[in-house]
Amino acid sequence: MSTTSERHAVEASPVYPAGSRVNERGHLEVGGCDVVDVVAEFGTPAYIYAEEDIRSRARAYLDAFRSRTDDYEVLYASKAAPITAIYKLCAEEGLSVDVASGGELHMALRAGFDPARIYLHGNNKTEAELRYAAESGVGHVIVDSFGEIQRLDAMLDRPQEVLIRVTPGVLPTTHSYVQTGGLDSKFGFGLEDGLAARAIAEVRASRNLRLVGLHAHIGSQIFELEPYVSAIDALAGLTGPDWECRILNVGGGLGIAYTADDAPPSIGDYVEALLRNAPDDVTVLCEPGRALVGNAGVTLYRVGTIKRIRGVRTYVAVDGGMSDNLRPMLYGARYEAEIADRFGGGALCTIAGMHCESGDVLVRDVELNDPRVGDVLVVPATGAYSHAMANNYNAVRRPPVVFCRNGDARVVVRRETYDDLTTRDV
């Protein structure tokens, strides 16, 4: 493939961060930074984010709502990438935040989020997490069980605004592991079995909890829009004249492009669907996570060995794998891959990880341009759930996170050291 064709393929790709290109040296650039130079400075594996890509997507969500309604709030679903620098960026852009644990709450507070703009989620919040939220002045708690309603009410000495999580019986087309809106779910209160109505009555009868709205999250990596309309309709059906519903929160879940074949809806169409049947005088919330950060990130690796099995396949092994990206092993997630300084495909290969598991395969059957030992390999669309799920399997150190903007690369999370692996030993 010619350099001109390579440039066009990257610049037109929905998979790579906005603004990415193949430069005059034939190298991939992200955020104005040559990734080969980034590797020379920071090593591999490494998570690379185009900072401006995240900022522009945050603004796109706000603009999409702002042009259609005055009653909205956009929350960063921080479980996608719980990175202090991303929390800070989202706060600067005017987003609120969704946290799903005491740890995510701690990071959001440390990044400077106003506690009033924090929403605490979770299907099994501990008493310590609820107390931490209460003492921090968190604006809203999304209650998820009857036991939680009772525990939270009992520990408070002041009013606390809450939403009730409803499982509305809506099942979008996505992987079963990330469908969360059906009756058979560990999350929330079912609509079909009457538990949601019972939860509303229990919160309204409580001493300190103030019911202000309803929440539903139907799943992740969703390309259909009608299920969101159905979810809004289901939530609206639970409102009534006996209590004032000020907020309808329909979660996140909008899909992204992991490969060139993926065609997710636009942010504008997504927001239009959320507002289509929303009742008057109700604030509509959404919680993008993957859709904010997924395509903003790429992971860089170094090729270590190449194993050619005649008539079977060619394995290209890199210095990472299931410790830095668990998604392919967890639910068969598909990715693209390229040699960072030789785009264009050619040889059919399988990208293997370095861990002692046969299933440690990052990408199956991808075309690479003459892969060689020492090459820098790039896997795009890894900005969501890679760092979040990173682990120390085989005592491998977790990679750094590097922000790139206007040609400047800076580390926002350092690479772990071997000493880090033993710091908790007693």
- Taking only the tens place, the pLDDT of each residue in 191-229 is 888 999 999 999 999 999 999 999 999 888 999 998 899
Q: Spelled out in words, what is the top-level CATH class assigned to the domain 3-43+296-422?
A: mainly beta
Give every residue of the chain whose pLDDT is below 50, as ranges: 1, 174-182
Closest CA to 247 of 132, 139, 88: 139
Fold type of domain 52-291: TIM Barrel (3.20.20)
Question: Can 404 be counted among the known catalytic residues?
Answer: no
3-state DSSP assignment of residue 203: helix
Q: What is the pLDDT of residue 152?
A: 98
CA 354 – CA 338 distance, rounded (Å): 18
CA 313 – CA 53 distance, rounded (Å): 36
Q: Cβ(346)–Cβ(367) under 8 Å? A: yes
Domain positions in the chain are 3-43+296-422, 52-291
- Percent of the chain that is helix, strand, coil (3-state, to 5): 30, 25, 45
Residues 6+ apart with CB under 8 A from 24: none
CA 323 – CA 411 distance, rounded (Å): 20
411 phi and psi, to 5 degrees? -80, 130
Q: How far apart are the first and last CA of the chain?
A: 56
The residue annotated as part of the active site, out of 90, 245, 356, 404, is: 356
CA 221 – CA 208 distance, rounded (Å): 36
Q: What is the pLDDT of residue 210?
A: 98
CA dihedral 257, 53, 386, 185 (to 10 degrees): -60
176 phi and psi, to 5 degrees? -60, -30
Residues 6+ apart with CB under 8 A from 66: 72
Identity of the amino acid at 312:
V
- Sheet containing 21-22: order of strands: 21-22, 28-30, 33-34
Closest CA to 222 of 258, 186, 265: 265
Q: What is the pLDDT of residue 113?
A: 98
Q: What is the pLDDT of residue 181?
A: 44
Please give the C-alpha separations between residue 184 and each of 47, 91, 178, 181, 193, in angstroms, as whole numbers: 36, 35, 13, 8, 11
Q: How many CB atoms lie within 10 A of CB 121?
A: 27
Reading the block at residue 288, the tokens are: 């993008």
Matching fold, domains 3-43+296-422 and 52-291:
no
Alpha helices in 121-266 (DSSP H): 127-136, 146-155, 195-204, 226-236
Q: What is the pLDDT of residue 6?
A: 66
CA 287 – CA 43 distance, rounded (Å): 33
